Amino acid sequence: MNSSQWLGLVTGVLFGFLLQKGRVLRFDKQVGAMLLKDMTIFKFMLSAIMVGMVGILLLANFEVITLSHKPMNVGAVLIGGALFGAGWAIMGFCPGTSLGALGEGRWHAVFAIIGMVVGAALYAELYPFFKATILAWKDFGKIGIPETLGISQWIIIPVFWVGTITLFFLFEKKKL
């Protein structure tokens, strides 16, 4: 293995470790969130985002790293996002957590993983069609919220923190 693969592996082991410790890999946790009964995965994700965004935007601010937005291609994000949501609800895993679930013994995740590999192969075959239709509609490109709204990220971050902490209090109060 080369150094890039080793770095990926080490990072992945830590990622998988934290996902498992946070108890977010399970089918019942993921479907529980979608049934609005158990908000564990949102507590975990939003905490990660709150911490991560400060460091990443600071590093990008000083040009130590570069940001990499995904394109805001309207049809693709809306239709793709809806398809993902539907599939996620039925499968009860997302791509990353399906592998973590396998690691903690929930072996039925294998069927989800096989389904996703088949889905990826199908997408590769359908790509010319998507490129001519959905992907060709309206693409705003790789844009971030601060420049789109014309508001500094150092105002958006505190607003995000306050909003998220409020949500956390609500989750705890309702025992979700």
Partner 1 sequence: MSFNLKKRRLKMKWKTNDGGWSPYLAGALLGLLAIASVLATTQFLGKTSYLGASTTFVRAAGILEQTIATDHVISNEYFTKTKVRVDWQFMLVVGIVLGSLISSTMDKSFRIESVPPTWKKRFGPSIGKRAFGAFVGGIIAMIGARLASGCPSGHGLSGMMQLSVSSFVALGMFFSVGVLVAHMVYKRRAS
Q: Interface residues for partner 1 in 83-122 (CB under 8 A)?
A: 83-109, 111-122
Helix (H) or strand (E) holding 11: helix 3-21
* 158 sits near partner 1 (criterion: CB under 8 A): no
Interface residue with partner 1 among 62, 66, 162, 176 (CB under 8 A) is 66
Compute the distance between CA of residue 166 and CA of residue 148 in angstroms, rounded to an integer: 25
Shortest distance, position 62 Cβ to partner 1, whole Å: 12
Residues in a beta bridge with 73: 139
Compute the distance between CA of residue 40 and CA of residue 170 in angstroms, rounded to an integer: 13
Shortest distance, position 12 Cβ to partner 1, whole Å: 2
* 14 sits near partner 1 (criterion: CB under 8 A): yes
* 16 sits near partner 1 (criterion: CB under 8 A): yes
Shortest distance, position 6 Cβ to partner 1, whole Å: 7
Structure tokens at 43: 């507590």
* 49 sits near partner 1 (criterion: CB under 8 A): yes
* 163 sits near partner 1 (criterion: CB under 8 A): no
* 45 sits near partner 1 (criterion: CB under 8 A): yes
User: Which string of DSSP letters, residue by residue, matches 16-71?
Assistant: HHHHHHTT--SHHHHHHHHTTS--HHHHHHHHHHHHHHHHHHHHHHTTSS---PPP
* 51 sits near partner 1 (criterion: CB under 8 A): yes
DSSP code of residue 152: -
DSSP code of residue 114: H
* 154 sits near partner 1 (criterion: CB under 8 A): no
How many residues in the shown chain lie near partner 1 by CB under 8 A? Answer: 127
